[in-house]
């Protein structure tokens, strides 16, 4: 039997770039052997010190009067647990002096859901029949945004300035001269650090984007899934930022709790109230368990110490080892660059003049049980199909075991050399 889907159903139910890639990665992981090198996903690493914190908190919840009920057997209000909302507001108010209260905070079922709600709340088809879009001030940007519009593409993106900052290093910067706010722009959105590149918008860039958004009376949305102050996977100087027209999103996933599906949104009360309404309609309530596990850590400020003293050093060490392994693997016989690693859990490689597309490189690597993400998926909203750069990049996660990352990078280098028609150097990695 064949069923006819609505426009909404066809858009969300007929596949997407991220859906196909996650399905591909999932099948590979399920059927792959011991040599599979999963360098394509966004799964955070298991940090022993953080696992110990979660085990301790779960034990405490079982002992606390009413702990099991608050965590598993009752509904929270759609906007989130009131104690948790107060704790988040107090933490940011007392730590950074931000003028906010619990009315500025909402919980969603993960950061991905937060952006689905935010994008469709602000952009798309408007009551007067016009259509509005989300402006991405630079691409590449997080692939998970790409297909979230209820009625087709919601995005307009600005190509970045590319600055070579070392022999094999470069950095994307916002091209403010070509950043134009037209009447159909509903909001500006950027991740900080950026998934996929690890780019961190400077304080100056964030300040300029904030001023532009404020001037045009639109929100600036900052995706802080990897950023400061928690989970703190950020290696550059970057101050946490919020103003009354800013929507800041955070998550418990990269703290080490991706299974709790807990997104945190800080924003104007009008937007926060709407998110609570959307949560009620879409899912009644949001998961309780992540809020209850982390509540005392937020109340005491311990979440900031763990981010600063445990999570950040852990990933910074892994990043350094991965970058050193890349230098060894790629050498100097081909032209290659890594984006400057300023945060998140990825390396972003650029191979200028690559004779094959990143998609074909991805297919070749998959046959050798190395899974990466081809770069073109991250350039949505930018309509220049002739821009070769979008087909010369790949994203590699370094969150896996260091030996897996090192061996995967060696195979990537071999396939890139084959694409350029070059032999593999006879050296021991």
Tokens of 280: 């009620």
Specify whether 322 is located in the same domain as 294. Answer: no
Which class for 124: exposed (0-12), middle (13-18), buried (19 or more C-beta within 10 A)? middle
pLDDT at 370: 95
pLDDT at 16: 64
Contact, 288 vs 72, CB < 8 A? yes
SS3 283: helix
Residue 21 lies in a domain: yes
Residues in the chain, how many?
A: 429
pLDDT at 27: 66
Residue 147 lies in a domain: yes
Residue 57 lies in a domain: no
**pLDDT tens, 303-320?**
999 999 999 999 999 999
Specify whether 312 is located in the same domain as 294. Answer: no
> Up-side HSE of residue 171: CA atoms within 13 Å toward CB?
14
Q: Which residues contact 295 (CB under 8 A, 6 or more apart)?
A: 81, 83, 84, 87
pLDDT at 185: 98
Tokens of 178: 């070509």
Tokens of 198: 């690890």
Query: DSSP letter string over 223-270?
Result: E-TT-TTTT--B-S-------TTEEEEEESGGGT-GGG--EEEE--HH
Specify whether 246 is located in the same domain as 342. Answer: no
Residue 69 lies in a domain: no
What span, in angstroms and rounded, lies between the C-alpha atoms of 92 and 229? Answer: 9
Contact, 359 vs 375, CB < 8 A? no
| Chosen domain end from 300, 332, 361 | 300
pLDDT at 429: 43
Q: Which residues of the chain have pLDDT under 50?
A: 428-429
Please give the residue range of the domain that contains residue 229.
74-300
Specify whether 213 is located in the same domain as 242. Answer: yes
CA 72 to chain centre: 28
pLDDT at 298: 98
């Amino acid at each position: 039997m064949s069923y006819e889907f609505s426009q909404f159903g066809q858009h969300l139910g007929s596949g997407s770039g991220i859906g196909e890639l996650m399905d591909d990665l999932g099948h590979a992981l399920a059927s792959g052997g011991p040599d599979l090198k999963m360098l394509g996903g966004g799964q955070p690493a298991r940090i022993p010190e953080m696992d110990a914190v979660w085990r301790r908190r779960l034990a405490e919840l079982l002992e606390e009067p009413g702990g099991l009920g608050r965590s598993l057997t009752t509904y929270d209000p759609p906007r989130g647990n009131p104690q948790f909302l107060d704790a988040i507001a107090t933490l940011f108010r007392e730590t950074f002096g931000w003028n906010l209260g619990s009315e500025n905070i909402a919980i969603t079922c993960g950061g991905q859901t937060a952006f689905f709600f935010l994008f469709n709340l602000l952009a798309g088809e408007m009551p007067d029949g016009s259509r509005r879009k989300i402006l991405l001030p630079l691409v590449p940007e997080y692939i998970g945004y790409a297909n979230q519009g209820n009625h087709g593409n919601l995005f307009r993106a600005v190509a970045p300035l590319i600055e070579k900052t070392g022999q094999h290093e470069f950095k994307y910067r916002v091209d403010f001269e070509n950043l134009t706010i037209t009447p159909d722009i509903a909001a500006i959105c950027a991740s900080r650090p950026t998934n996929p590149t690890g780019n961190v918008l400077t304080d100056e860039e964030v300040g300029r984007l904030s001023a532009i958004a404020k001037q045009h009376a639109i929100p600036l949305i900052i995706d802080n899934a990897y950023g400061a102050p928690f989970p703190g996977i950020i290696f550059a100087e970057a101050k946490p930022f919020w103003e009354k027209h800013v929507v800041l999103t955070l998550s418990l996933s990269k703290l080490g709790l991706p299974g709790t599906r807990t997104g945190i949104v800080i924003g104007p009360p009008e937007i926060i109230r709407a998110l609570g309404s959307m949560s009620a309609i879409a899912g009644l309530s949001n998961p309780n368990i992540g809020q209850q596990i982390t509540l005392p850590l937020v109340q005491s400020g311990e979440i900031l110490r763990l981010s600063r003293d445990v999570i950040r050093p852990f990933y910074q060490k892994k990043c350094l080892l991965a970058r050193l392994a890349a230098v060894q693997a790629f050498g100097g016989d081909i032209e290659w660059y890594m984006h400057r690693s300023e945060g998140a859990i990825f390396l972003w490689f650029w191979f200028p003049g690559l004779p094959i597309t990143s998609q074909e490189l991805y297919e070749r690597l998959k046959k050798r049980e190395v899974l990466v993400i081809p770069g073109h998926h991250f350039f949505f909203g930018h309509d220049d199909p002739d821009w070769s750069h979008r087909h010369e990049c790949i994203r590699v996660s370094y969150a896996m075991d260091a030996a897996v990352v090192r061996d995967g990078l060696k195979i990537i280098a071999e396939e890139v050399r084959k694409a350029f028609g070059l032999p593999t150097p006879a050296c021991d990695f």
